[in-house]
Each structure stands twice: as structure tokens, then as C-alpha cells.
Structure 1
Amino acid sequence: MTHLNRRTVNDLREIFLEGKDLLKVYGPTTAVNHLDINVYQGEVLALVGGNGAGKSTLTKILSGVISSDSGSIKILGEEINLNKYTPATARSKGIRVVHQELSLCKNLTVYENFYIEQYQRFQKGNPKWRDEAREMARQALDRVFPDHGIDVGAGLATLSIAQQQMVEIARATSDPDVKMMVLDEPTSSLPARQTEQLQDYIKKSAREQKIAYIYISHRLKEIMFLADYIYIMQNGAQKYQCPIGETDEDDIVERMGDGAVEKKAGIFLAPELNKNTRVSFHDYSSKHLKNVTKEMYGGEIVAITGLEGNGQLELIQEIFYQAKKKRPGLQISGKVAYVAGDRKKEGIFPLGSIKDNMIVSKIADSALFKPISMGNVDQAVTHWNQRLKTKCASTDDLITMLSGGNQQKVLIGRALAVDADIILLDDPTRGVDIGTKLELYEVFREAAKAGKLVIWKTSDDAELEYCTRLLVMNNGTIAGEFSHEEFDHSSMLKVAFRNNKEKADNLEKRKAKTPRLYLFSLISMLVLYMVCGFMSPSIFSKFGVELLAVGFAPFVFAALAQTFIIGLGHIDLGVGAFMGLVNVICATILDQSTGLGLLCLAGLIIAYSCMGLVIYLRDVPPIIVTLGMSFVWTGIAYVLQDVPGGHVPEWMVHIFNFNNPILQGVLVWLVLFIVAAIFIYRSRYGTALRGFGNNENAMRNSGWSKAKAYWTTYMIAGTFAAMGGIAQSVITGASDVNASATYTMLTVAAVIIGGGYFSGGVVTHIGAVFGGISLTMISVLLGLLKVSTDYTATIQGLVLIIILSLRLIRKEKLQ
């Protein structure tokens, strides 16, 4: 079959993208093997193949995410320089990608995620960019998913997986200049209604706007409905291609699997139930479940379905977590194993081998100090790898070297290897090819035939035919039940949609009650201040407030600096030492030569920013770079001044520590820098920096520079830390290398107390300020209580633990 056959479908179509002799090799694996592919304008090209066939690698090459080792790509007849072909270049040519793994930043709002993807469409310096981004997000979502019900101002993390998938898809369509779109398993998390809406949009946009589509899916019914042409890959190479009218589902399955996969229908129905294996709910309620009453037995495959977020996942997780407990209303007979749905976040151990990932549950099930028989381990791993047909060169390879579908096989093998009686499945076939799906269906049938109970949460209605009965969840309870013979799709949807408006309203009320991240740090600061004030009323006076504020100012500058670093997902273990060096330079070199001193301070900030480049260029963990530089900063400071002393220039004291009727100079500078920090994070590029802290790969795929982000973040943090050193200098009038030595770990504590997290790009500058003041107030309180300063660090640590515990308790109540 040649590409020329496709021109007969519509003579008006022209080739948009032409790839020739594309090759990509990873060590011993040839992911794309001298492959040719054409994509025509206005055509929906279905790209199918088994897991590990090379589909994702091919689309990454075509979209500039990775470069091919050889071959050529032409876009609208123009030869592309593959050495300079990046996601930004691909976007400039009109190519957009919806990846299988969502490339969104969960710490940003919905509209901010749209801005991240379409930043080039916003005018620089436009103060109304947020309003424009909101409107762009609303229009795109309305266009693809009418009646989507998504608040574009909501944090992405508050949305369900299905809603996040809708945002990802709509975001890709929001560019009016899009000419080709790659959709990798776009409906894997979408409900039936939104799947139909997406299909309608694809057909309409391909027909009217001549947008080309590469559509990757293992749902063959979607392929047959949508595609104009099908392209089958195997082992990184083209295996077969033809117009969609010249094939059918059975033919596709046979060609994908060399005829080795036999399509099976129906499900083995056990002649009698195994009542020794049982899950029994009786009027059972929990945080997410309400008055559930149902019994399930060995020999069954019970499907759990319903609209996203109605308790399906919570039901199977409740069985798993309560398996070894005796909670009223829930009885479980038999050993339980669980296959997580989010294999990347909850399933695999990315630094572990395939063998380690498969056997970890079996080892955990044995006695604590019992020796491990490697012979038995190898035997179990080999058995389940062969049974599940996991494609791998060696079980000692990292699990991340496998395709997504093969990783899923490893997780299923992990559950089966422990010989569990009850197997809980969270959408186990999501993103898995049809051949693998059929193999897994047969494995589940065998488990039921052996008397095991399989409880299967699924989002694919086509899988319901493989289950003995179906339970429909609605608002945390089982609202309906269908046997295999009685199942009716429309009746199931009616049960699933019933009263969901009430659930949505309750969810919005809970979200409205979600506190600001800095709430607990604010409360702790106020409580500590009031206690100190009652013990020493002068603290409430203007003089007392200024005295306290001047004392904590240098530390707050340091905390603001650390906030930027932690916001990037890093930690600076040298910020205190850096401030000490700044302090020394201010009291020595700057006092002797203004020009040289200022040059040294500027050079220090530049040197600090270069840490970001070192981390980026050499891929060295930030903790190592910053820890190493802390010794450099301290060493230089001791060379300049080995004992406390020196003198800070009068002009610097006047600039940074002047008196006025409202605030002292240092506090004025502090307020200005707090406002600046908040403004930076609220700015367009500050939004991008927050995105890097949450999902670096997504930002790079959207065309943002990782090197620039690292350098900019460390430059900003260095400036704030330098201001902290200057504040320390003008307050004391001299220098001490060790004056700020304790600040490093305390700044980390201040950021976390203020609502930040060590990863995920979630920080708040105002919270870090409150957290820093709270930690400082603890020292004041201990002084008033005449407690030795030896206990300061211990009590500060206890306060940190208490605040974090209260924050987590509050978070649990809101879920």
C-alpha cells in the first residue's frame, strides 16, 4: 500500500508533514526504525500498534520533543533542520500535541495553563493578560466541550482527572494557527459524553479548517469512527497502512499481533460462587462513601463505574485499606491486592528494576527479617512476565525503560504474584493496546475461574461486557446494579447522572471553604505576638514593633530568597553563608572602596545565579551544588575577615536605615521587596517559573527555556539574599561571618510553615514572611520566659510539626 492511494480520497488534500527514514535508537532498543510517514491536511490519521511499538517516540520526533538520529522531516514542503527542531519550532509551524501523560501544571489555575501553552499570543506589557487568558480558556472549552462546567479560575489540582484531560485537549485547540494536532490517547480519562463531543470537534475541524490529526488510541471503535487512514506500527517500523474503509477491527487486531491474538467475547461465568472469598458492605459509610450495602464473592468480576468522582475509586481503596482492620459494616475474607490507576504517581518505583517492582508486594507480605530466596523471586518474575507477555530485554532493567503498557503489566503481575484472593483494579487497561487488553481480560477470567474476586473500576464502557455484573456509583453510594445479561448503556447513564448537580454544588461549597496556604502561619504569628505582648506590653508600642521588625528583617529577606528556590523544586543549603559573605564585603571592601565593593556585590549575585546554570548544564542535584557553594561563601568570608568587626559605610546606613515618621528605612526596603516578590510570582514570567516548579517537562514541551528559568530564579533569589546581607550589615554596623549561619534551615522551615511544599511549585511569599516572623517570635517568647536559648531550635521544630499537622488535618476535612 503506497501513500499515493490516499490522494484518491480527496484530491484537494496536500501533504502537511512528510517524514522519511526516521531512526531513533536508545542503547540496544530501536524505538523508531527507518520509518516513512505522511500526514495530509484535513486528514485524521490513526496511528496504532502494540505497547512499545514506537508510537509515542514517533510523535515526539514529529513534534520536536526529541530529535531523530537520522532521516528528514518536511512541513508543507519545507525541509526542517532536525538539529534545531524543538517544540517551539514545531508550534511555530502549527503543530500541537496532547500527550498521554498530561502536560499540565497542577499548581496553576486553568487559565494560567492556557497562558503557559499560548504565551506567544499575548502582547508584552499587557496588564490585562489574565483577563485575556481567562477568555481564551472559556472559549476553547466551550468550543470543544459544551456545558463542561469547569471554572477557568479554579486551581487545576481541584479538578477531576477527566476535567484535567478536557483542559489539556481544549488548550491544544486554542491556537487559531494550529495546522496539525497529535492526540495521544485523548479519551482515556474522558466520560462517554465528552468523548462524543471531542469526536464531533475533530471531524468538524478537519473538514472545515483542514486541520491534520494524528490520532493514537487503543479504542478501535473510535478509530473506525474517526479515522480516514490507518497506520500500524510494530517494533518501531511501519507494518501496514491503508484507508480506513479497507479494514475492520478484527483485521487491525490481527495485523497488530501477527495473528497471535485471538479476540474473545463474553466472560467466564462461574457455575457457583466461592463464598469463602467475600467483600460485604452493610450500611457502610466513610468520608467518601454513604450507606453502601452490597456483597461480592469469589468467582465474580464486578465492574465499578459511574461519572468521574462519584466514589468508584474510594470504594476499591476502602476495601484495600480496611482489609486487615475490623471496621463495622465492612467484612473482608481473603488476601487483597491492589493495582493503582496512576502508574506513574502511585504504581511504579521509577528507580527500581522490573524485577524489584514486580516482587515488592510479595516481599512485603513475608516476615520482616525473613531471608529472601532469589531463586523463588526469579521464578515468580519469569512466570508472570511470560504469562503477561511483558516485553523487556532483562528484568534487571529499570522499569522506566518499558513502555506504559508494559509497565502496567508489571503492576498487574505484582498483584497476581502475591496470590491474592481479592484483586482490586483501578482502570488497569488505560493506555494499553488492544492486544494487551485482550490478554489481560483473559487473565482476569482465569482469576475468576480460580475462585478469586476481581473488582474492576473501569472508564471504558466496552469493557463492561467482560464483567459478571456492574455496580453504578452516584454521589458516594451504589445507585444501581446490572447483571451481565441485563446491562443497558442508556439505563446505566441515567443512574450515573441522577442528582449529580447536588454533588457538584457541594463540591463547590467545599472548595469555597479551602483556606489560604498562609492561614496557619498567620494565625501562629498573631498568637505568638499577642502572648509576647501580654508578657511585655511595650511590644505593642510603635517602638516595640519597630524593634522586633528590624530584628527579623534580615531573616525575612532570606526566607523570601528561599521561597523562590523551593518554588522551583530546589533547596538552597547555602543562603545563610551567602548572606554572611555579603555582610563581610559590606563592612570591609565596600568601606574601603565604594566602586570595588559594589562590583563585588554585583559579582556575588551573578555567581549565585550561575548555580542555576551549573545545575542545568551538568544535571547536578541542587542540594549538592548549594551545599558545596556554602563552603565557598564561608571560605571567602573568612579570608576577608576571620573575626567579627569592620565598619559599614555611613552612606549605606543612611540609604538603608534612615528614620522616618512611619517606618525605619530597613523596613521600607523590606516592604518593597515583599511587594516585588508577590508581583514577580504574579507576573507572566513568574507564572512560568511556578510552572517549572511543578511540571518541568510540560514547560519544556510548551517551548519555555529550562536554562533561562533556572538562571532567572537563582538571580532573583540571589538578589533577595544579598538584600538580607545588606540589612544585616546596616542594622549591626559591622560584620560577622556566622551571624546568619542558622538562617539556612530556618528559611526552609519558614517557607513550609507558610504553606509551601518541597515539590510541586506550591509556595507563597506572604506565607513565608509570616512563617519567618513566627519563628523569630519564638525566640522572643523564650527570652521573655527566661528559657535558655539552647532550647530555641527544639521548640521551633516542634512548632513546625504542630503547624504542619494542623494544616494536614484541615486538608483532610476538606477532601
Structure 2
Amino acid sequence: MELNTIMDEMKNQVLLKADHFTKIYHPTVAVNDVSISIEKGDILALVGANGAGKSTLINCLSGVVNCNSGEFFFNGQAVDLARYNPAVARNIGIRVVHQELSLCKNLTVYENFYVEQSQNIKTGKQWRKKAQIMAQNALERVFPGNGIDVMAVLGALSIEQQQMVEIARATSDPNMKLMILDEPTSSLPAEQTEQLQKYLIKTAKEGITYIYISHRLNEIMAIANRVFIMQNGKEKWQGTIQETNEEAMVKLMGEGISQSDEKAVVSDKLPDINQNISVLCNSYTTKKLRNINFEIFGGQIVGLTGLEGNGQLDLLQDIFLKAGKKIDGLNVKGKVAYVAGDRKKEGIFPLWSIEDNQIITKTANYSLFKCLSSEWVKDSVDYWYDKLHVKSDGKKALITSLSGGNQQKVLIARALAADADIILLDDPTRGVDQPTKNALYQVFHEAAQSGKLVIWRTSDDAELNFCTNLFVIKNGEIVGSFEKDKVSHEEIIKLSFKNEEEKNKTSEKRKFTAPLFSFAFIGMIAIYIICAVKSPLLFSGYGFELMLVGFAALSLCAMSQTFTIGLGHIDLGVGNFCALINVLCCTLLHDKPFVGTILLIASFLVYPLMGYIIYKRKVPAVIVTLGMSFVWLGIALSIQAMPGGECPSWMNIIFYSETPIGNILCYWLIGLIVVAILVYRSRYGTVLRGFGNNPVAMVNSGWKQSKAYISIYSLAGFFALMAGIFTSAINNASDSTASGTYTMLSVASVIIGGGYFSGGVVTHFGSVCGAVILTMISVLLGLFSVSTDYTASIQGLMLILILSLRLFKRKESKA
């Protein structure tokens, strides 16, 4: 009785109250004077058509965007909206599962937990172990028997597993009071969806509050106790779940398509078969698909189903990529268009308008110099714009101005407008509201009626009823097939989960993955051995020291560049900065130590300043660093126009002197490599790596982007400074132009060492290996009596060779 009394009192306590929230993106009023109140233990369903303002509202409630006006109260306390941000939201107990995953794919599962829950892993040296335990417990609590390896890199997981990580990560905060879930089940299969629902209902009874956004109205009816419907940025209706039903909610959303229209599509007669369009598989086998056999033709809507990651997407992509090619076991007859599932990464062109995004596939099918008529473009864009009810400020608006669901409509319109014979759909209705889904179902059906072949991979089991044929794929094989009106959901589930326990057991064994630097390390050893065989002196300590002198400074420039490229930037001035430091050391530091020291410190401080400018003014890094490259060179030439100068004697002693155990330069270099690796492996280094992959996710987790930029450029500046000091100690003189080539060589070193220009994936040891390779190429040419004029060409060919091997390896892993 006492427990019931406590729960009743809790239910009557207001947790969140937002009054008159307004957010304007000129000229659109995304949230228009919305007031919402949520009590403790509520599961509030936030419902509305695409573009209704749901995502903007939750972004305001979670501090991702700032309101133009309104008042906000949380847990009885007023919140200052002027200073409200994701970090404040996290501190008061608000967590968000965004529709677009806010995870860093370059980090491991447990590292993703750490960057989100760092405030709960403050003490102790075993932070990695604590993060691993946190990740394991959270995943098992929400998704029992998930089979996810928390040590795995997130990018290696399937989309459904990444979604599970995103949800479990948000639940792991012991101080969480409110969780906002935006389309959390869009990528989850039935079993995990049911597990999540049970978890939400159980924890709501314990006092956790939820805002749940979903276009799957049956889910809302199953778990929510209150409903808040939005339309055009305003409140349309709110009330208890008992006061409404699915049909009423669809009607209130105002799209004008009822559930009865959906049923009419299902009841239509089957289209006629068009054998001029077909996909034929005869024992088709790849690395991920085995013995695929089927014949499908125009006039059919073919569904691909089964548990996520069992080969459905691989089959879909193979049909698209191999169409028109002679492939054993696969014959595709007809023009193919593909609607990608990851619209952000593979679908939209973010800098283009809605119109340009819609017609690009049609344009690609034309000859190089043939133009689309302006009349066709206008008619086509207008037709599909109206047909799919795209909500925007006009067809010339950037596609990024649309909501996620409206972006998806444009991608579907792109495929349909291209006049393709075969339309491949990768979960096309993910994140799309129910009225729009109904319109799309009708469009797909009309395409099949006109003789086209539609192949549809879906994560929503209810959509299987719209297919004329259905294949269940398990472990890369077709384990079952159904025709329309003979679909058995029970049988599909049985086939999908058959022997799943055995699969989970075997998946626990983590595959060995070669380190990023493996190609560079092997290449470095191979070149060194070849050189040493040709000149045995290189096997001696003296020979190694000669080699060390050649690559030490470049290695430090490469490590500096590694930090920059790890952020997704490029430093085009590192070589000239190294030269400036060299000049300052051998002139002013030698003649006027105090002035020289001040100038060295001032030069170093310009690096974090560059990072801040790049962040604050949104200026591309290549522009800032290229401009500073000329500044570094100009200052160096004004101080010392011709080579000369002398390094301070104390610098020679500290950085380049012989000891009983070898030259001290070697130990400095090893120490700095270790420092760079430890920094990147540290707690905050993990955060910096996260910013290199997904800065939006890191900001949403409460980390400051300005601090990350300043930190990265400070580290890059320090290693570039050390490169200049090493150059001075080794040469005992300075040259304003001698280090200029280090800029491009350092970039090449990072890429050879396993790094990617996209950011987030780099390795300092690999970069050093790359620098050694590029340095030793000139030695190798000299040993074989080849002119050093070919050094740059050979270095370029080496870069291309290693990149080709990496690309080949990636292609093989996907085959």
C-alpha cells in the first residue's frame, strides 16, 4: 500500500515544464509557442508528421539548440535558457537518443560509453576497465543476450547493434531523470524492440521519465501513457493514451491519408509480370552471400527480410553495383536506381538544393554533354514534390534545411524520377511518418503496376504485407520464401532466429584485426633490410645513427600532422614552421637567449590560436594553415636570408650528444613517440579522437569543441616545435627553406602509416614508420646508384602502392 502511495505521489510531481517555447530558423518557425509539461514516471509519446517540429523541440529541451523565447523548469528548478547546453542538460539528468546516431564509429563500444559518461568514471587508473564493465552491464540490462563485444570498434558493428549501443549508453547514467528517445526502434528488429519496450515500462514505474518519438503508432499504443501531437511547429492535441487510437492520431497529424487507404493498397490485384526486366541469381556466391537462387521480374515488389546483418543489404548492393556487368551467377536486366538507407552518409548531397538532389540520378544516366531540359526538370520536381508532400521553403532550398523524413522523400523521388526499371530500396521508410508511409506504399505499388521491379529491404515487419514476394535471408542464404497473402510472420521469425544462439556463441570470439600501421611497418622493415643487405654498415649502431639523423625531424613533423589529420584537418604550414624554429634557435636564441626564448614561445602559442580561429570563425583549416605557412617563411627569411647561424651548445648537449648507450637523440625520439601515443590513448585523447570522427556527437555529449580544437593544435604545435629544435641540434645551423618539403612529406607519412583524411583514424607509430620509409627511399636509390632526382617520384609511387593495398584489403573484406 505504501509503495502504491509513493508511486501516486510521484506521478503527480512535475519533472519538466516548458512554457511558450519558440524556435525560428528564418523564415521557418520550427517550434511555435509550444508549452509542454511532463510528470515523473510518464512515458510521453511525441507524435507528428515529418517537419512538424518534433526534433527541434527535443533539441531545445536537451540544449542542442537555443530557443528564441520561452521558460524552462526542470525538477522544480528554473533553467537559464541563455546558458543552457548539452553539458547542462546532462548535469541535471537529461539524456537523448537521437534519430541520427550520436556515436563515434572510430572508437570502441566502451570508449563511446566513456565519452558520454565520463563524469561517472572520474577516479582510478582503471578507467578503461570501468567503462567496459559499464558498457557490458548497460547492454545486458536493456538488451539481454545481445552478443555485442564492448571491445569492438563501433564501426564494425551492424546498424542494429549500433542502435542498441546508443540506447544502452544513454541508460547507463545513474543520475538520469529524463530520457528522450527519437525513433529508437527504427533499426531494431522485433526481439530487441520488445526488450526495449519492457525496459521502458519497468523503469518508468521506478520513476524514470521518457519522451518517446516514433512513427510506429502501435508501439506508442503499447507503452505510452500520454500523447502530445504536433503539427507545423505547434501543439495540435495532447491527452492520455486512453483518449485516442492509431486512426485518430493519423487524422490529427493532418496529412489526409487514412488507414483505410493503406488497406486498399494491400487489397489491389497483383501486377502483371514484365519479363523484360529481371534479376536472376543462379547459385550466386560471394564472401557474405551463399548459393543465392531466385528469378524475379518487373511487376513484383520483392521484400528482403531476416535479422539485421545477415546479407540482405549485401544482396541489395550487389544488384546495384554489379548491374550491367558479367558476373557469375548474377544477371541484371534493366536500369537500376538505389535509395540508400544511410541518407546522411550515402544519400544526400548536403551543399545542393532539393531540386539538384532529386535529379542527379537522371543526370547521371545521360551522356556527358547532354543536358536535361529545364521544362522536364521543373515538371519532374514539381510532380514528386507534391506527390510525396515534401515540406520545405521551396525547391531551391538546401536539402539540409529539411527534416530527416523529408530528406528521405527527396531520395525516393530521385529514384522514381530517374525512370529506372529496377528500384532498390534500403529501409526507405525509416524515420518517416505514417501518412507519408501510406503515400510511399501507394507509389511503390504504382511502380510495380507500371512494370518496374521493386526490391525492398525493410526493418518494419508490418511492411512485409505490401510485398508480392518475400525472401528470408539467414547467414547469407535464402532460408525461406513467401508469396503475397501467404506471409507467415511466425514462420519468418522462426526462420530468422534458427540457430541464433549458436551464432551468438561463435560471435563472442573477436576476429584479429591487423593494426592500422601494419603495411607501413612491414614496408619500413623491408626497405631497411634491403638497404642493410646492400650496405652492411646499416646493421651497426653507427649506421643506424646515420639513418636516425635523416628521419628524426620529419618523424616529429609527421606526429604533429597526425594530430591535425586526426581532427579531419590538414596543416599546410608545418614544414615552414619547423624552418622558422630552426632559424630562431640558430640566430636569436644563440645571440640573444631571452629574446629568442620569448619568440619561440610566441611562435608556439600561434598554434592554439589557429585552432581557436578555425573553430570560432569556421574558416577551413587548409586556408588558415596555408596563410600561416607564408607568414612562417616570411619571418624566417627576414631574420636569416641565407643559410648559416649556429645552434646553442647547450641544445647540442641536451638533444644530440653521445652517451655510453648511444646517441641521446634516439631516446628523445622514442620518448616523444611514447608521449604522443599515451596522449591519444588517454581519457581526453579518446575525446579528441571522437571529435575527429563525429564532432556533433561529442558536443551533444557535453564536450566543448573549442577546447578540443585548441588542445589538438597545441599538441601539433609542440611536436612541430620539437622538430625545429631537432633540426637545429642535428645540423648545428639553420636554413629558412630546407624544411619546406616536410609539409607534404608529413601528410604522406600519416596516410602511409594508416591514417585517413576524413579524421578520427590515425596512428602516431604508423606515421613515424611512414616518415622512415620516405626518408630511406633516397638512401635506397643512392645504394643502387640511381639519381636522387627520382626521389620524389618514388616516394609518390610508394604512397600510391600502400594506399592501393589498403583499398584492396577493404574491398576484399566487403566482398
Give the TM bin, normalised by the shorter chain. over 0.9
Q: Residue 218 of structure 2 aligns with which residue?
A: 221
Deviation at 1:500, TM superposition (A): 4.2
- Partner of residue 252 from structure 1, selected from 249, 252, 261: 249
Give the conservation status (yes or no) of the 8 Å contact 2:21–2:31.
Answer: yes
In structure 2, the gaps of 5 or more residues are: 1-5
* Structure 1 counterpart of 2:292, one-letter code: V
Give the conservation status (yes or no) of the 8 Å contact 2:147–2:508.
Answer: no
Residues 484-515 of structure 1 show CA distances to partners (whole Å, capped at 9, x for unaligned) of 22222221111112244565677677x62321
* Structure 1 counterpart of 2:163, one-letter code: Q
Q: Residue 495 of structure 2 aligns with which residue?
A: 495
Deviation at 1:668, TM superposition (A): 1.4
Whole-angstrom CA distance in 2 between matches of 1:724 and 1:569: 22
Determine if the alignment matches structure 1 residue 304 to structure 2 residue 304: yes
C-alpha change, 1:258 and 1:812, in structure 2 (3 Å) is: closer
Determine if the alignment matches structure 1 residue 691 to structure 2 residue 680: no
* Structure 2 counterpart of 1:695, one-letter code: N
Whole-angstrom CA distance in 2 between matches of 1:96 and 1:506: 34
Deviation at 1:10, TM superposition (A): 7.2
Whole-angstrom CA distance in 1 between matches of 2:449 and 2:9: 51
Deviation at 1:368, TM superposition (A): 1.4
- Partner of residue 233 from structure 2, selected from 227, 236, 252: 236
Deviation at 1:585, TM superposition (A): 0.3
* Structure 2 counterpart of 1:313, one-letter code: L
In structure 1, the gaps of 5 or more residues are: 1-6
Equivalent positions of 1:533-612 (< 5 A) are 533-612=532-611
C-alpha change, 1:320 and 1:491, in structure 2 (3 Å) is: same
Deviation at 1:596, TM superposition (A): 2.2
Residues 126-180 of structure 1 show CA distances to partners (whole Å, capped at 9, x for unaligned) of 3111111111111111110111101111111111110000000000000011000
> In structure 1, the residue corresponding to 2:659 is in which secondary structure?
coil
Deviation at 1:259, TM superposition (A): 4.2
> In structure 1, the residue corresponding to 2:294 is in which secondary structure?
strand
Q: Residue 26 of structure 2 aligns with which residue?
A: 27
Equivalent positions of 1:724-803 (< 5 A) are 724-803=723-802
Give the conservation status (yes or no) of the 8 Å contact 2:20–2:35.
Answer: yes
Deviation at 1:38, TM superposition (A): 0.8
Equivalent positions of 1:226-625 (< 5 A) are 226-257=223-254, 259-263=256-260, 264-265=262-263, 266-270=266-270, 272-500=272-500, 512-625=511-624
Whole-angstrom CA distance in 1 between matches of 2:464 and 2:9: 38
Whole-angstrom CA distance in 2 between matches of 1:409 and 1:352: 15
Whole-angstrom CA distance in 2 between matches of 1:521 and 1:631: 31
Q: Residue 54 of structure 2 aligns with which residue?
A: 55
* Structure 2 counterpart of 1:746, one-letter code: L
C-alpha change, 1:757 and 1:504, in structure 2 (3 Å) is: farther
* Structure 2 counterpart of 1:224, one-letter code: M
Q: Percent identity?
A: 56
Give the conservation status (yes or no) of the 8 Å contact 1:306–1:312.
Answer: yes
Residues 731-765 of structure 1 show CA distances to partners (whole Å, capped at 9, x for unaligned) of 01110011211000100110011111011300011
> In structure 2, the residue corresponding to 1:118 is in which secondary structure?
helix
C-alpha change, 1:377 and 1:271, in structure 2 (3 Å) is: closer
Give the conservation status (yes or no) of the 8 Å contact 1:98–1:184.
Answer: yes
Q: Residue 649 of structure 1 aligns with which residue?
A: 648
Q: CA RMSD in A?
A: 1.6
Residues 264-287 of structure 1 show CA distances to partners (whole Å, capped at 9, x for unaligned) of 222533253222222111111123
* Structure 1 counterpart of 2:174, one-letter code: P
Whole-angstrom CA distance in 1 between matches of 2:579 and 2:568: 24
Deviation at 1:391, TM superposition (A): 1.3
Residues 548-597 of structure 1 show CA distances to partners (whole Å, capped at 9, x for unaligned) of 11221111111110001111111000000000000000001100122222
* Structure 1 counterpart of 2:245, one-letter code: D
Whole-angstrom CA distance in 2 between matches of 1:399 and 1:224: 33
Q: Residue 212 of structure 1 aligns with which residue?
A: 209
> In structure 1, the residue corresponding to 2:174 is in which secondary structure?
coil
Deviation at 1:8, TM superposition (A): 13
- Partner of residue 168 from structure 2, selected from 170, 188, 191: 170
C-alpha change, 1:113 and 1:168, in structure 2 (3 Å) is: same
> In structure 2, the residue corresponding to 1:569 is in which secondary structure?
coil
Whole-angstrom CA distance in 2 between matches of 1:503 and 1:280: 29
Deviation at 1:811, TM superposition (A): 2.6
* Structure 2 counterpart of 1:149, one-letter code: G
Whole-angstrom CA distance in 1 between matches of 2:32 and 2:494: 48
> In structure 2, the residue corresponding to 1:444 is in which secondary structure?
helix
Give the conservation status (yes or no) of the 8 Å contact 1:269–1:299.
Answer: no
- Partner of residue 195 from structure 2, selected from 178, 194, 197: 197
* Structure 2 counterpart of 1:619, one-letter code: K
> In structure 1, the residue corresponding to 2:366 is in which secondary structure?
coil
Give the conservation status (yes or no) of the 8 Å contact 1:16–1:39.
Answer: yes
Give the conservation status (yes or no) of the 8 Å contact 1:45–1:213.
Answer: yes
* Structure 2 counterpart of 1:204, one-letter code: K
Deviation at 1:13, TM superposition (A): 2.5
Deviation at 1:463, TM superposition (A): 0.8
Give the conservation status (yes or no) of the 8 Å contact 1:753–1:800.
Answer: yes
* Structure 2 counterpart of 1:33, one-letter code: N
C-alpha change, 1:269 and 1:297, in structure 2 (3 Å) is: farther
Give the conservation status (yes or no) of the 8 Å contact 2:147–2:504.
Answer: no
Deviation at 1:657, TM superposition (A): 1.1
Question: Bigger CA drift: 489-498 or 56-65?
Answer: 489-498
> In structure 1, the residue corresponding to 2:662 is in which secondary structure?
coil
Q: Residue 156 of structure 1 aligns with which residue?
A: 154
Deviation at 1:710, TM superposition (A): 0.5
Q: Residue 3 of structure 1 aligns with which residue?
A: none
Whole-angstrom CA distance in 2 between matches of 1:214 and 1:111: 26
Deviation at 1:260, TM superposition (A): 4.5
Q: Residue 3 of structure 2 aligns with which residue?
A: none
Deviation at 1:791, TM superposition (A): 1.1
Question: Bigger CA drift: 51-60 or 411-420?
Answer: 411-420
Give the conservation status (yes or no) of the 8 Å contact 2:45–2:220.
Answer: yes
Whole-angstrom CA distance in 2 between matches of 1:621 and 1:167: 33
Deviation at 1:340, TM superposition (A): 0.8
Whole-angstrom CA distance in 2 between matches of 1:483 and 1:257: 34
Whole-angstrom CA distance in 2 between matches of 1:813 and 1:414: 30
Whole-angstrom CA distance in 2 between matches of 1:610 and 1:486: 67
Deviation at 1:702, TM superposition (A): 0.6
Give the conservation status (yes or no) of the 8 Å contact 1:391–1:406.
Answer: yes
Residues 422-457 of structure 1 show CA distances to partners (whole Å, capped at 9, x for unaligned) of 111100000101111111011111111222211110
Whole-angstrom CA distance in 1 between matches of 2:290 and 2:503: 13
Give the conservation status (yes or no) of the 8 Å contact 2:22–2:34.
Answer: yes
Deviation at 1:400, TM superposition (A): 0.5
Whole-angstrom CA distance in 2 between matches of 1:340 and 1:178: 35
Give the conservation status (yes or no) of the 8 Å contact 1:182–1:214.
Answer: yes
Whole-angstrom CA distance in 2 between matches of 1:75 and 1:502: 47
> How many residues are paired up?
806
Question: Bigger CA drift: 87-96 or 596-605?
Answer: 596-605
* Structure 1 counterpart of 2:570, one-letter code: I
Q: Residue 77 of structure 1 aligns with which residue?
A: 76
Deviation at 1:315, TM superposition (A): 1.1
